[in-house]
Structure 1
Amino acid sequence: MLIVLEGIDGSGKTTVARLVAEALGPDGAVPAGKKEVGAVDPATAARAAALRDLVWSSPEAHGDTYGAAHWILLIASWYAGLARLRPELTDADTVTVMDGWYYRNIAKTLIREPLDPHWVESLFAPVPEPALTVLLDVDPEVARSRRDTFKDTELGRWDGFTGPPHEAFRDYQSVVRRALLRMAAERDWLVLVPHPDDPPEHTAAAVVAAVRTLRRTP
């Protein structure tokens, strides 16, 4: 059973996902990273490393030279491979808690270029839908206050967002946030709106409660 925490950059996905996995540990939950392929043979591991570098390392250094279509095809290839190499993602007896899935990639791609949304979505047909996706709906100003620096991709530099980092982050992430809220309504996600003063443990407890309810549902 795959549980995904989604949200804009800086929304607290990583922290909450870790806390949820820890809380569900006795129930057979495991934390999972979307950049890891698990135990595979050396040849597969080498191919995965090369693709992972193309997706998450090289673009940050060289910019979006090939455009959004090239980037989303690489992302879709990674997730299709992940679906094949990580069988626990669809194991009903194991709760796998993931920090983000491919949804923000779709949102950011459609912000970057006017591609056909149906075509972009179709690229992820081989990838399993999570049993539960939780959107952490955090205001971009709150997210920005939690970190000192952001990458160019988080500031929307590839998507025409210029100006001081503070303003660029706020404006870009506001657009991403709207896209994620649309997805949440279309896909029936659980939307949580953490109060800025709430500790992440409070948000994690709400997710844990939702997971346990889901597991009791026939």
Structure 2
Amino acid sequence: MSAAIPPPIVNLLLDGLPRTERNRLMPHCEPVQLLFGSVLCEPDQPFRYLYFPLTGFISLVTTLGQHRPLELGLIGNEGMLGATLALGIHAAPSRAVVQGSGSALRISATQLRQTLRECPGLQRTLQRYLYVMLTQLTQNAACGHFHEVEPRLARWLLMTHDRAHADHFYLTHEYLADMLGVRRSGVTIAAGALQLRQLIHYSRGQITILDRSGLEAAACECYAALCASYARLLAAPAALTS
């Protein structure tokens, strides 16, 4: 018996639109490949294109003075880059860098602004998504202040795992340190502890998730909180506007 063919990966925001609006929007979206390390936008610069990731994922980062970049959040196929256009704001709030190579759908900012005027369902969906992104930012701020490095690392690995659609992906010590806002030595100790518990395998930046349920148990409470927020967006979006 042949193995079942997995369903195609879709962008969940687009997939949740009313069919008439999705049919109106999709002809203006073009498939593109997101290449690791590519900068898609810079802070305070106007968006040229907006991205709906499919298999790739995007890191939002900020910098302060001479400090190293700090990651604010991740965008995978649960969301999009450029949702602030739904608020009438055309400039990017932060730098966006491709952290995971893969596919995406791209639309020009001009076309999306026009489509937003024609599609109230798309407008509501992006506004709800912005609410969830705000939740992610506030959760990340509290997590970075109160939680230890090891459970925070477990949480970020789970978030990356969700968006990579694979059990293995590439994350350097340097990137993980920037992601968590800690020294590389702290990442080395935390990753070593997770590997010792046989939850992950980590070698030269190559990470393999060995025990997903064990990693969830090792993560701080913030991962479950963020998953619940996304579930409310996707499963019962009306709850966010009632």
* TM-score in terms of structure 2 length: 0.23
Larger Rg: 2
Where is the helix percentage greater, Structure 1 or Structure 2? 1
Relative to its length, the structure with more strand (as a share) is: 2
